[in-house]
């Protein structure tokens, strides 16, 4: 069993807040994390039809069964339960009474923010980070293997073949759950939409173009994407606003929370295909951006990551906003360093002046190096460039 980096933060939150809510994609390990961290706590799953029926029809009697609290799993199944939890939490000052997990933010997070504001600590659990895989003895052999296999726990914890698991995950959790929420009748169009999103990884999100390609209007595309975001399948990386006397691109970039899912949607059938695949660079950028996000979120912090691009094409792949000063990161999938890689970040450093912190280039090679004032970091150490400390940034509701 792989130990999760976020576990100490969960323990800390449970000692401070009356309840802790753990959100994240399906199969990211939320239940396992909660049960490993609190092995003596009673466990209740709302996936069980009988349990769910009682919780829905008589929530007061249901909650009265657990005077000492419990791990309440898959809470999105009965979102109305949060209104009744409010009174229980208000009646006691005891911290950590309920550990609540939920796979979909749809509906559930609306209830959490309305009913439990100020009473709960909120954590997001993503699939394994590279650090967690290495600690568990599952370090990928190559860049291509890391991109292709993704980081969801079941292929590692349960020894399931990656190809079979990802195919099943897309068919059962993404297509079934998301289509049910959206009431999508034309399955082929929605499948095409997901494939087009995967094909636009790392690109500026253009709802009109994607809608034209799959035969729906841009409003439908935005609605579909919002559900993929709420379900932790895809996300938008926002542009940074600081312009340095330049006109800026204001459109966000599209990424997936797991490159294994994206690779499958692109029709990639084995890791070796990624050596020469035209989207190798985009998938590598996606993988690095998510590793940087995990480094933050596994400390209980929200993402402070952006990108920067002006109207002349000058771009920095990632800007980490560290409280006024900006940490720039360029991302390149190649293993052989080229001087051309440094041109954009060097130009940005000249523009930023005192606003800039230490600069990094994360690449597909295996050694650290220094080029002028830019630090070269191998892909296996990508997360080390994020050094923010926990504290006032903790996500509280």
- pLDDT, residue 104, reads 65
- CA dist 194 and 171 (Å) reads 12
pLDDT tens per residue across span 179-205? 667 776 677 788 899 999 999 999 999
- Is-contact 260 165, C-beta < 8 A? no
- pLDDT, residue 394, reads 37
H helices then E strands: how many in the chain?
Answer: 17, 13
Q: Does domain 146-280 have CATH number 1.10.10.10?
A: yes
Residue at token pair 């659990």: 125
15, two tokens: 């000692």
- Give the pLDDT band (50/70/90) at residue 393: very low
Comparing 70-74, 102-106, 140-144, 150-154, which segment has the lowest mean pLDDT? 102-106
- CA dist 393 and 389 (Å) reads 9
- Residue intervals of the chain classified under CATH 1.10.10.10 are 146-280
In this structure, which CATH number among 3.40.50.300, 3.20.20.10, 3.40.50.150, 3.40.50.740 belongs to the domain 7-124? 3.40.50.300
- Residue intervals of the chain classified under CATH 3.40.50.300 are 7-124
- CA dist 36 and 148 (Å) reads 28
Summarize the confidence of residues 291-305 as an average pLDDT.
93
Residue 57, pLDDT above cutoff 60: yes
Residue 106, pLDDT above cutoff 70: no
Summarize the confidence of residues 31-44 as an average pLDDT.
96
- Give the pLDDT band (50/70/90) at residue 48: very high
Summarize the confidence of residues 273-279 as an average pLDDT.
97
- pLDDT, residue 105, reads 58
Please tell me which residue, 79 or 272, carries the higher pLDDT value.
272
Residue 65 dihedral angles phi and psi, to the nearest 5°: -70, -15
98-102 sheet: strands from edge to edge: 43-45, 70-73, 98-102, 19-23, 120-124
- Give the pLDDT band (50/70/90) at residue 103: confident
pLDDT > 70 in the chain, percent: 91
- Give the pLDDT band (50/70/90) at residue 287: very high
pLDDT > 90 in the chain, percent: 69
Residue 391, pLDDT above cutoff 60: no
312, two tokens: 């002349």
Summarize the confidence of residues 344-367 as an average pLDDT.
92
Comparing 208-222, 250-264, 381-395, which segment has the lowest mean pLDDT? 381-395
- pLDDT, residue 397, reads 39
- CA dist 361 and 375 (Å) reads 6
Residue 121, pLDDT above cutoff 80: yes
- pLDDT, residue 107, reads 60
The overall average pLDDT reported for the chain is 90
Cα 119 versus chain centre, distance: 24
Residue at token pair 């595309």: 221
Residue 396, pLDDT above cutoff 50: no
pLDDT tens per residue across span 309-318? 988 888 999 9
């Amino acid at each position: 069993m792989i130990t999760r980096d976020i576990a100490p933060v969960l323990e800390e939150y449970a000692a401070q807040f009356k309840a802790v809510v753990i959100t994240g994609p399906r199969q990211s390990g939320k239940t396992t994390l909660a049960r490993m961290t609190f092995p003596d706590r009673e466990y209740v799953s709302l996936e069980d039809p009988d349990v769910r029926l009682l919780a829905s029809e008589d929530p007061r009697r249901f909650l009265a069964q657990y005077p000492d609290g419990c791990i309440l799993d898959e809470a999105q199944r009965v979102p109305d339960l949060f209104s009744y939890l409010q009174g229980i939490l208000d009646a006691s000052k005891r911290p950590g009474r309920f550990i609540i997990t939920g796979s979909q933010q749809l509906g559930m997070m609306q209830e959490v923010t309305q009913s439990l504001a100020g009473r709960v600590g909120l954590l997001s659990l993503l699939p394994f980070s590279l650090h967690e895989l290495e600690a568990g003895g599952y370090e990928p052999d190559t860049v291509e293997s890391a991109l292709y296999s993704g980081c969801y726990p079941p292929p590692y914890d349960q020894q399931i073949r990656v190809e079979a698991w990802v195919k099943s995950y897309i068919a059962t959790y993404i297509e079934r759950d998301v289509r049910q929420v959206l009431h999508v009748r034309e399955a082929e169009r929605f499948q095409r939409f997901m494939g087009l999103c995967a094909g636009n990884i790392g690109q500026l999100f253009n709802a009109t173009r994607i809608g034209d390609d799959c035969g729906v209007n841009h409003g439908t595309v935005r609605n579909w994407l919002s559900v993929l975001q709420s379900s932790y399948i895809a996300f938008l990386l926002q542009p940074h606003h600081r312009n340095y006397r330049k006109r800026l691109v204001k459109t966000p970039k599209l990424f997936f929370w797991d490159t294994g899912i994206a690779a499958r949607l692109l029709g990639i059938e084995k890791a070796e295909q990624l050596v020469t695949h035209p989207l190798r660079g985009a998938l590598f950028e996606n993988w690095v951006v998510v590793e940087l996000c995990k480094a933050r979120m596994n400390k209980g912090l929200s993402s402070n990551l952006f990108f920067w691009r002006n109207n002349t094409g000058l771009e920095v792949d990632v800007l980490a906003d560290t409280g006024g000063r900006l940490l720039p990161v360029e991302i390149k999938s190649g293993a052989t360093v080229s001087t051309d890689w440094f041109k954009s970040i060097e130009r940005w450093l000249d523009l930023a002046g005192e606003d800039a912190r230490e600069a990094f280039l994360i690449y597909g090679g295996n050694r650290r190096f220094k080029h002028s004032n830019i630090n070269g970091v191998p892909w296996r150490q990508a997360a080390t460039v994020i050094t923010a400390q926990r504290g006032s940034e903790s996500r509280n509701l």
